[in-house]
Structure 1
Amino acid sequence: MTARADVLGALRDAGSSVTVADLAGTLGVPATTVRFHLRALTDDGLADAQTESAVGPGRPRIRYRARPGMDPSGSREYGTLARALVTALAVIPDGPRRAADAGRALGADRAHRTDDATSDLLHMLASMGFDPVVAPPSQIRLRRCPFLETARESPEITCSVHRGLMQGVLDAHGSDTRVGLDPFVDGDHCVAHIDAARTTTR
């Protein structure tokens, strides 16, 4: 267990509000360590802090009480979730369309309508890790795929999400252009075609 988990466990086991000194004594760790983790737990909504009314000289004490909730710290397994969802969509006849629609909605949600449509699209791609480079007249080379494993295993689904993301950004700007996507061109990049006649991933 981590020090954070120890502090959270002791706070929950206490059953009533406690001070930093109480927890430090229970855990046998410095008060500074306890205080650091209590501040983080409070920020994450797992603890409540209440200042006692001042009695005599000195700073009033702060008492902490645990709040119910799952600790949001720790590692994530989003890759496993992505693979499970892609696998589920891959066996549905209209899976690629559903994937593109989902990506389109996410792209529209990420759009910054105050920017130029092309600049906004490039910013979105860069922020997601696609490492985009403009290739005139109307192409964008994607030199990196942040979902490479699922794209290799199921390009028809994963690349449909990518195409939908790009289309969603353009839609949010009121653009009538369409996006096409050629995956794994020459094995080391993908090519997005802006204002392409085709609207499906090849």
Structure 2
Amino acid sequence: MTSDVSGSSAAKSAIESLGVLQEDLRRRMFLFIRRARHPVTRDEAAASVGISRKLAAFHLDKLVDAGLLRARYAAPGGVPKVGRQPKVYEPSEAQIQVSVPERRHELLADLLLTAVLGERQDESAIQAALRTAAEQGRRLGEQERSRSRPGRLGAERGLTLCERMLEGHGYEPVRESATRLTLRNCPFHPLAAKAPDLVCGMNHAFLAGYLDGLDAGAVQAVLAPRPDECCVELRRADTASAAQPDAEDE
């Protein structure tokens, strides 16, 4: 369950990219280049939609700026030419995914695949999945700790660091009080509803592992299922035993 880009930044980038594709000519050129299976020149792109080379260049540059295409100078077909090589365009490796609320099924699938491939002889598939989730969370927490070098973490500082990670992974964290952080979105819904013991268990193990890697002993991940929200919430450790909000949190 790791990501190189925060959820809010990734969502914004995806929405902006989709906005670029709203223009009909631009979208048709983009699809033509994706299906061409070879670098496409401006002339080829222009001819594919019946516009001038100059207008095609404008739209192609918009697609490059959005990260949907990449451009370079090369001879078409790989045959060297005398003089300056033409600019050619080809698909980038960008993948666009937008969901509201945010879903992270690919992260859950990655965890499950890692668990299957790394299952030990002395554990069941479910045990392997829980262990893998905890290890992944711990690595993420250790990375955050090495970046921020927070020193000894109290509950409030620990919740603040967790909030940033949770926002980036689509949990939609809400600070209910100084001691309690609830998660309004389950990034793994509706799969969590189909296998709650497995998915919620992995989710809990991942967040608990993150706190362990962060060395945020003053904060604890607690299973507290609520309809249409994440099954886990984060609390100050000395209030975490309660399954429902403490009186001071109301």
User: Structure 2 counterpart of 1:92, which letter?
Assistant: A
Secondary structure of the structure 2 residue equivalent to 1:180: strand
Q: What is the number of equivalent residue pairs in this alignment?
A: 185
For the residues of structure 2 that align with 1:36 and 1:11, how far apart are their CA atoms?
A: 20
TM-score by length of 2: 0.52
1:96 aligned to which of 118, 130, 143: 130
Q: 1:163 to 1:113 in 2, by over 3 A?
A: farther
Which of 48, 51, 55 pairs up with 1:29? Answer: 51
Offset of residue 92 of structure 1: 0.1
Aligned residue in 2 for 1:131: 172
| Aligned-pair identity (%) | 17
The 1:104–1:27 alpha-carbon spacing in structure 2 relative to 1, beyond 3 Å, is: same
On the 8 A contact 1:104/1:161 being kept in 2, the answer is no
Q: CA deviation at 1:4?
A: 0.6
Structure 1 position 121, deviation (Å): 0.9
* Whole-angstrom distance in 2 between the partners of 1:99 and 1:153: 18
RMSD of aligned C-alpha atoms?
Answer: 4.5
Deviation, 1:193, is: 3.5
Give the structure 2 partner of residue 141 of structure 1. 182
Picking from 237, 241, 246, the partner of 1:195 is 237
Comparing 70-79 and 154-163, the one that deviates more: 70-79
Which sits farther off after the overlay, 103-112 or 37-46? 37-46
- State TM-score, norm by structure 1: 0.61
Which 4+ stretches in 1 moved above 4 angstroms?
8-11, 41-46, 73-78, 83-91
Q: Is the 8 A contact 2:32 2:45 kept in 1?
A: no
Deviation sequence 1:41-64 (CA, Å, 0-9, x none): 5956754236xxxxxxxxx97712
- For the residue of structure 1 that corresponds to 2:234, the secondary structure is strand
Query: What 5-or-longer segments of structure 2 have no aligned partner?
Result: 1-26, 75-82, 117-123, 151-156, 241-250
- Assess, with a 3 A threshold, how the Cα gap between structure 1 residues 63 and 8 changes in structure 2: closer, same or farther: farther
Q: Which residue of 1 aligns with 2:38?
A: 12
Which structure's CA Rg is the greater one?
A: 1
Q: Does the CA-based 8 Å contact 2:204-2:223 persist in structure 1?
A: no
Residue ranges of structure 1 left out of the alignment (5+ in a row)? 51-59
- What does residue 9 of structure 2 align with? none
Deviation at 1:183, TM superposition (A): 4.0
1:131-157 per-position Cα deviation (integer Å, ceiling 9, x unaligned): 323345743222221222122223334
Of residues 218, 221, 225, the one that matches 1:184 is 225
Partner of residue 162 from structure 1, selected from 203, 222, 225: 203
CA positional deviation for 1:107: 4.3
